[in-house]
Amino acid sequence: MVKNKVNIKNKKARFQYEILDKYTAGIVLAGTEIKSIREGKANIAESFCEFNDKGELFVINMDIQEYSHATHFNHKAKNARKLLLNKQELKKLYKEVKNTGLTIIPLRLFLNDRGFAKLQIALCKGKKLHDKRETIKDRDTKRKLNRINKTYNT
């Protein structure tokens, strides 16, 4: 049984993008890449997803650090990695990206119960500056309300 401790999140994604739809995709990885992910040495903060000429979906700019105990067969840190989805899901995403100009952003990298690395991706629309200000304002009001509730409840 594999311990499911790996949960790498893209914290900026929810602030910079409006999330429309979520998908869970498998990733094609080399042996040293999965070992680095199991150690938690991956970063998806600057990454995005893109289709190639054949209609395959790749995650670009995902940083998986080199495995420390590997020999000269180690992987490249910022390599494009293929994502595995159903044909229907791929067609739907391709159509949305091409027609409406939406973006596909990774939200979370995790290990499932069988020990496979999965990437939660989202179909997103970029937020404007006033939307980001609104998000900050909402966060501040929630924080203030929680402080007030704490002082009266104790």
Q: Per-residue pLDDT tens for 5-16?
A: 788 888 888 888
The predicted pLDDT at position 23 comes to 93
Q: Which residue has the tokens 């054949």?
A: 54
Q: Are 49 and 121 in contact (CB under 8 A)?
A: yes
Alpha-carbon span 31 to 73, nearest angstrom? 10
Q: pTM for the full model?
A: 0.77
Q: How many residues does the chain have?
A: 154
